[in-house]
Amino acid sequence: MTCIIGLAEDNKVYIGGDSASGSSNSWTVRATTIKKVFLRPPFIFGCSLSFRMMQLLRYRLYNIPEQHANYSNEEYLVKEFIDPVRELFKEHGYARIKDNEEEGGSFLVGYRNQLYLIDTDFQVNESLDGLRALGCGEDFALGAMKALEHLPPKKRILKSLEIAAYFSGGVMPPFIVEEGK
């Protein structure tokens, strides 16, 4: 239940999300006050799946080292950002370890004008077109974002969230869009 849309454009990162909350094993959907999109400078986050993961990233993620001058943004995220996230998830009971494989959640992170997907295996992945989406509304959102390329970024994301909500019962307003640097 969710739709998160991220866009890196014009030297900024925009992330928008819906407010759907529900159980994966029921048809009940309610709007939540928990923000799935939030700023934690120098980062902007957009999260799906677990509200626990969202709250840990928003309220408990500390001690991220500064970026070394000789690191690319991707290298910095891989070397300096991911380990504190993994430790946070383990320390607070969110990480799952099975058959010696560690798993977290999927979320988007904007950093220094670039948008990355952090996947469940903690890989750092940037798409070539600067566009990502997560959740049950992902496919609808990506199609809408492509079709609405003529709109400014925030309007484009809001309209795409509306379209995802029209087609998916797991996506609902209110919608929020944040802009990161």
**112-123 per-position pLDDT tens digit:** 999 999 999 999
Please provide the distance, in angstroms rounded to a whole number, between the alpha carbons at the two ends of the chain.
Answer: 28
The answer to whether the beta carbons of residues 152 and 158 sit under 8 Å apart is no
pTM beyond 0.75, yes or no: yes
DSSP of 39-59? EETTEEEEE-S-HHHHHHHHH
Task: Quote the pLDDT of residue 17.
Answer: 98
List, in order of start, the domains of the chain with CATH numbers: 4-65+72-180 (3.60.20.10)
Kindly give the interhelix angle for 51-59 and 82-91, rounded to the nearest 10 degrees: 120
The answer to whether 15 touches 44, Cβ cutoff 8 Å, is: yes
- pLDDT (tens digit per residue) in 144-169: 999 999 999 999 999 999 999 999 99
